[in-house]
Structure 1
Amino acid sequence: YKDGKPVDHALVDAVILNDTFIGSRAVWDEDRIHQVMVTRGSPSSIGISAIAGNLEPIGVNEPKGMLIDMGSGDIDIIVPLAPGLIRPINNCRYRMLGIDEEIEVGYGPCVIALDGEREVEVGAEEKVSVKLTFDGPRVVKADEALRTAVARGYSKGPEALKNLSWLKEVK
């Protein structure tokens, strides 16, 4: 939110960076990270959500999130921030966030990276906050859905093509 109005959203993470420009979209340098808010985190994740997963895992459908402050605590962990890039995260602290909890970003100028895909620039005088909601899109467990489809025969034999009316030609 900027001045109380929504400007964008993130599904997994919002990362407040010490920068005013991201450059390449992925956030892999932990020294640039000031604060992190996540909706989920697993020890098996790779990326920003792995920080949460290595502190206190949060499942996809759990109605809570996590706020992580970098460089202002006493917890040290090791996290896979990218494939093949395992980094120490030192001196962090965290707390759980409840649904509809809003956190004021009292730090600027900065950039907020959203899911590593988009960014929101924050000026020094702007009032900005991040709010955890449970209003996002439904999550499909792709592996489970496809396994069920295969078990029911949706991908086998000539009858399978009838399930795909949007396909015009299969060779």
Structure 2
Amino acid sequence: MSKIGIIANPASGKDIRRLVAHATIIDNNEKVNIVKRIILASQELGIEKIYIMADTFNIGYKAVNDLVYLKQLKADVQILDMPLTAGFRDSMVATSMMEEKGVGCIVSLGGDGTNRAIAKVIKDTPLLPISTGTNNVYPSMIEGTVAGIAAAVVASGLFDKAATCNKNKRIEVYKGRELVDIALIDAVISRESFVGAKAIWDQESITDIFVTRAHPASIGFSSIVGYKEIIDDGDDVGAHVQLGAGGETILAPIAPGIVRKINIKKFNLLKLDEDYIYNAENRGIIALDGEREIPVRAGDCILFRISRNGPYQVDIRRTLEIAQKSNFFRKV
């Protein structure tokens, strides 16, 4: 039986950057519509069982009820029976439950933060991320119908995962020998010493940025690196920049509609599995994929390492091309 999972985060795209930038808003009703399109497309391509994360907005229930009312639901859809925290742990719990149930692909609706939560627990299941957050680098703006088709191709089991997916990089953050957290795109050190609103957006407080990938077509703090050096997900390097006077000045879009002058004091590429030691001179905080997470005290020794231990991310275009050339869509 071909099975997929859907994780739709009702909190994605609702952080402080909605107030300080001109970001696109994808509300929860639109997430319901996207989930419906994923279901409709995937069931036509052979998906028989779909698991959906429970959430506080009831995105899954609303999608299923609409399709039942319209008599369009063919697949067996189950909303996971799970406790809700209305936080990132919901995505983590749902991911683990879906893997236990043997889904062939997990489709996520969220931003970089949502997918970071998923990446913290996901094992070998391919992940297909759809962007419904704010500053998104990891997920793509992809139509739900196309995402459902690609998820069905991957979950069919007919194609090698190495052909349809990319093994992502991640940033690992250690205190001593303990891995305390990860990031998929960027880890940013700020002089701010409080969590407050989770999202970080003020470049004036930033001292250091670590990235797994960087491109001038991106938005957010990884774009600062991207306007200096292009680093693709397939490149076996990451990068570290230290901000401050004494280097060069570039322009970069740090949030939707916000382009700022950024002073880069130091830049260096980081090889995979290479340790970078950061000795904190002052209090601060580390933001992971745009969200403040790890408090730092003066004297702390923090180790950053970029590895290939991230998720298997579905390459949608390549997956559909492989399926088309293999006559996957030809029906007799």
Decide: shared fold, TM above 0.5: yes
Does structure 1 retain, via aligned residues, the 8 Å contact 2:284–2:297? yes
Matched with 1:35 is 208
Matched with 1:164 is none
Describe the SS at the equivalent of 1:9: strand
Q: Say which of 111, 135, 140 aligns to 2:285.
A: 111
TM-score by length of 1: 0.80
Q: Please report how far the alpha carbon of residue 127 of structure 1 lies from its aligned counterpart in structure 2 after TM superposition.
A: 2.3
Distance of 1:72 and 1:142 partners within structure 2: 41
Q: Please report how far the alpha carbon of residue 120 of structure 1 lies from its aligned counterpart in structure 2 after TM superposition.
A: 0.8
Matched with 2:234 is 61
Matched with 1:131 is 305
Q: Deviations over 1:98-138 (max 9, x none)?
A: 11111112123211101113511112233221111121112
Q: Say which of 201, 221, 224 aligns to 1:51.
A: 224
Task: Report runs of 4+ in structure 1 exceeding 3 Å deviation.
Answer: 142-154
What is the aligned length? 156
Equivalent runs, 1:79-94 vs 2, <5 Å: 79-94=252-267
Moved more, 53-62 or 111-120: 111-120
Q: Please report how far the alpha carbon of residue 55 of structure 1 lies from its aligned counterpart in structure 2 after TM superposition.
A: 0.4
Does structure 2 retain, via aligned residues, the 8 Å contact 1:15–1:36? yes
Equivalent runs, 1:8-27 vs 2, <5 Å: 8-27=181-200
Does structure 2 retain, via aligned residues, the 8 Å contact 1:70–1:90? yes
Higher relative contact order (CA 8 A, sep 6+): 1
Identity %: 37
Does structure 2 retain, via aligned residues, the 8 Å contact 1:100–1:131? yes
Q: Say which of 291, 294, 302 aligns to 1:120.
A: 294
Q: Give the partner amino acid of 1:92.
A: K
Does structure 1 retain, via aligned residues, the 8 Å contact 2:227–2:250? yes
Cα root mean square deviation, aligned: 2.2
Q: Deviations over 1:50-85 (max 9, x none)?
A: 111100100011110011000054111000111111
More helix by share: 2
Q: Please report how far the alpha carbon of residue 27 of structure 1 lies from its aligned counterpart in structure 2 after TM superposition.
A: 2.4
Moved more, 139-148 or 18-27: 139-148
Describe the SS at the equivalent of 1:52: helix
Distance of 1:64 and 1:72 partners within structure 2: 26
Q: Please report how far the alpha carbon of residue 29 of structure 1 lies from its aligned counterpart in structure 2 after TM superposition.
A: 1.4
